[in-house]
Amino acid sequence: MSTPGYRGPSAPTWDPTATVDPAEAEEFLCLLHQEHPTLGPVRPRLDQVRREIAESGTYAHTSTELTFGARTAWRNASRCIGRLYWRSLLVRDLRGVRTPKAVFAELVRHLEIAGGNRGDAPGSRRIRPVISVFAPARPGRPPETRLWNEQLIRYAGYRNTDGSVVGDPRYAEFTEAVTALGWRGKGSRFDVLPLVIESTLPGPRLFDLPRRVLVEVPLTHPEYPWFARLRLRWHAVPAISNMRLSIGGVSYPLAPFNGWYMGTEIGARNLADPDRYDQLPVVAARLGLDTSSETTLWRDRALVELNRAVLWSFERAGLRISDHHTESRRFLDHLAKEERAGRKTPADWTWIVPPLSGAATPVFHRYYHEADQRPNFYLDQETAELGRCGRTAAGARPQVCPFMDGRSCATAGPVDRLDPETFDGYAGATIQ
């Protein structure tokens, strides 16, 4: 017996060698045509798809199917509180993009679009939800191109000899992996990690993101000037890149997607967790709080001020962000809309309830339907390990990249010469 609202048994392990299940393809196509009756009868398309699966073990989605599938996968993502906006997801069809250099160019473009850069004036940026869908998996073949990174933008963690970490401890092992491949960061707290794009030939390649796509926010506080002296910052686009997109039985191993941040993701987790930036003791000391006993609730008081700083700073920068109270109410609006449409909304209570003042939000006081509804996103074991600690490719050797100021990058083949007109410099090892 399971508790309502909590995830039950995990989804079946993905078998890349298996052919597409015709029943799953049929279920998806029927769902599409049911929700979009203007597409006409589903039978002709079902017959075509069955023939393709019989001949090749898989089938190709139309652009309409891909767009509907990606948006519905967001609608079905049980751990996401921001699904009210699922129809607004911009779906980029990049199934024909395969080489590491071309994939990197499209990932850069993804961040440009998601960052909503419309000039330098205050309020000129509006973070928008985007997904970039690359080549699907083929039965019996390894993915042509894969990305090691858990998210497109994450900060390095440099482990000292005494065991302490400068930067983000969560990515200390990953930082060691890319360092072994030749990457050299500045050793500061907020060095942006390079993207590691791996193909069957020539192996993993490192690409540092251009400065222009790194939308970062220095954190200040509406009341405490000393907060700026903590020199904290965070990036504005949370682009998850290690989830496999599954649509109608077809898997897309590389399909990075983003929404925008809810403030608590930064202020109550990334900057506050003891195994991340662990800033609560620092903020509490600056506030002059009594930390001698937990009964003083110094952690709670520091947590509120840290989250106020995040929301204040993003709003001053004109960047889209949500507070947990507003987003909780919007999620209940989403539930009501889905119910009116005759659909159940899967939700994992442990993820939907915010990590700050959970009981003060309306999403706390109820149970949720929990099910593996498809299309959906899945984290596979191998990609989880790559995002955590990477791997050093056999035979990889350091070579000099033409746009990395003499620093070395690792590649098992010739270095791609990137167009300096397109890529205006690299930030991972140079950003202050």
pLDDT at 22 over 50: yes
Give 379's contacts (C-beta < 8 A, 6+ positions apart).
242, 243, 244
For 365-383, write each residue's pLDDT tens digit. Answer: 999 998 999 999 999 999 9
118 or 65: which carries more pLDDT confidence?
Answer: 65
Bigger pLDDT: 405 vs 115: 115
Q: Higher confidence at residue 6 or residue 109?
A: 109
Q: What is the pLDDT of residues 147-199, one digit of tens each?
A: 999 999 999 999 999 999 999 999 999 999 999 999 999 999 999 999 999 98
Percent of the chain exceeding pLDDT 90 equals 81
The catalytic residue positions are 80, 83, 260, 265
- Residue 415 vs residue 74, higher pLDDT: 74
Instruction: Give the model's pLDDT for residue 391.
Output: 83
- Per the prediction, the chain carries an average pLDDT of 88
The two beta strands, 397-400 and 408-411, are antiparallel
- pLDDT (tens digit per residue) in 237-281: 999 999 999 999 999 999 999 999 999 999 999 999 999 999 999
Q: What angle is formed at CA 268 by the lines to CA 262 and CA 269, rounded to 5 degrees?
A: 90
> Which residues make Cβ contacts (< 8 Å) with residue 372, sequence separation at least 6?
11, 346
Percent helix, strand, coil in the chain, to 5, is 35, 15, 50
- Listed by start position, the domains of the chain span 95-127+148-244+260-411
pLDDT tens sequence across 318-341: 999 999 999 999 999 999 999 999
What does the pLDDT look like over 110-138, one tens digit per residue?
999 999 865 444 455 789 999 999 999 99
Q: Read off the pTM.
A: 0.89
The helix (run of H) or strand (run of E) holding residue 303 is helix 298-316
pLDDT of amino acid 412 = 34
